[in-house]
Structure 1
């Protein structure tokens, strides 16, 4: 086995293991809150949906690419390859869509009573399930073209293949069709990233204005210690930076894989690495963001029979 394949395989294996453990921890967190009778927040449904998509991405892209790097070459049939790539693309898309929905609903929740979004606060819980369902439907339809281009490495050799992913390959096709397909696949991601940035910027602005009002009202008692609003703004900025960074690099690499012929070993493996990195890191970021809920939930076990979040 080539040393670079072994090194990449170990890096991917670490990412997959770390990601699976992180998502299981996040899943346990919500199961704990559920079985102890806690009243969950409206956005927790989006969090649970994000856990599902993280597992889909890790298992459909991370595991096959890791096995390939470590020398395992016996992979599924043509149908298996099509299914793996389709599940990965849908899981990846719904993941970014869920993150976008999370930012939007959080921005609506913390908006002032006199803002234009105030009327939507009471209706928000009714729209969450519908929004998640539409997100799944959108990405399932958009990515329906993926199976057309993917084929097994063990299929008839008369089919000309230009992109070898190790465990599967992509069929050769017209450059114009590839460009159109790449643009179609990238459009929902770019739209979600834009909406997420807009929602996050709105949250930071709202919290900043709220902090300014507190400083003017309690100027004499204001402490230099980091306020809850300041810590919330820092958390939002960290979340946005991580989400945007991983998905931007992942989207760029996906476009390169779609457009360029004879893709290199480095491009294929780096694309797989960035594709699973978000699913690996996001549960730990969300657990960190939800640390206050965790503390309250354990306090509930010790002191009361009811927890209101």
Structure 2
């Protein structure tokens, strides 16, 4: 194995390990908060599920990708390859869906009570479970085609019929069969990505109006700290910005490889970008969410600083 492969395997291994630890810590933190009777916010339900799906994404993408970088491309048989790739596709779609759901929920939460969203705002927490269940069902059913399209790299088919994913290969179906599936998946991604962008723009507009309306108070206040709602909104915006940045870069690379013969370094770059958001998201949430920080300090018996 050449030095470049060694460096690449170390990068993938470190990235995956850090992401798995961060997301598992966040999931365990929410679970501990629930078991100890600590009051959970409605948004915590979405954050816990997002961290769970990011953990699953890293498990199904990061670990096989690391093994492939070490030169162990054929360590999965047909069944293992198919299961890993199915989990990868489902968790990727759910990560996108729950990021959109998170943005939409926070946008509705901070909207003025006197607005036309007032009635929806009051019922939003009740819709979380229903929306989450619907999203999970859709992605589980939508990606069933993976069981037809994916096979082990050691299969006997002609290499011209295969598209290498690093550790698995997917059968390239005919354009007639591929087109409807591709349109449906792309449409779902576009809807949730549009939801993320729209909700983020709406929150930025509300924060700007709020800042202008209270600018005089900030100038005269002895302790110009932001409200908990403002801090929570900013943390969501930071998370969403991280997501949009990495998702856009990854999509550009994927689109380029679709229209051109994929090169090995581009495929590895695509793999690196695909797991950047699941890796960094738990640390963005923990560092920018005052409620999570206070509970973390409480676990270690320390008094949280004024946040």
Common topology (TM > 0.5): yes
* Contact 2:162-2:171 at 8 Å conserved across structures: yes
TM-score normalised over the length of structure 1:
0.86
Point out which structure has higher relative CO (alpha carbons under 8 A, 6+ apart): 1
Q: Paired residue for 1:271? A: 270
For residue 298 of structure 1, report the CA deviation from its aligned partner. Answer: 4.9
Residues 252 and 185 (structure 1), Cα distance of their counterparts in 2 relative to 1, 3 Å cut? farther
TM-score normalised over the length of structure 2:
0.87
| Structure 2 residue 158 is the aligned partner of structure 1 residue 152 | no
Provide the C-alpha distance between the structure 2 equivalents of 1:156 and 1:204, rounded to a whole number of angstroms: 54
Unaligned runs of 5+ in 1: 304-309
Count residues in correspondence: 301
Q: Paired residue for 2:136? A: 136
Q: Paired residue for 1:123? A: 123
- Aligned ranges 1:213-228 → 2 under 5 Å: 213-216=213-216, 218=217, 221-222=220-221, 227-228=226-227
Residues 84 and 301 (structure 1), Cα distance of their counterparts in 2 relative to 1, 3 Å cut? closer
- Aligned ranges 1:11-160 → 2 under 5 Å: 11-158=11-158, 160=160
Provide the C-alpha distance between the structure 2 equivalents of 1:92 and 1:195, rounded to a whole number of angstroms: 16
For residue 107 of structure 1, report the CA deviation from its aligned partner. Answer: 1.2
Unaligned runs of 5+ in 2: 303-307
For residue 197 of structure 1, report the CA deviation from its aligned partner. Answer: 1.3
* Contact 1:163-1:263 at 8 Å conserved across structures: no
| Deviation readout 1:254-291 (Å, 9 max, x if unpaired) | 4445x347522112212211121111011111112323
* Contact 1:162-1:261 at 8 Å conserved across structures: no
Three-state SS of the structure 1 residue aligned to 2:170 is strand
Provide the C-alpha distance between the structure 2 equivalents of 1:84 and 1:221, rounded to a whole number of angstroms: 57
Residues 40 and 224 (structure 1), Cα distance of their counterparts in 2 relative to 1, 3 Å cut? closer
Superposed CA RMSD:
2.7
Q: Paired residue for 2:305? A: none
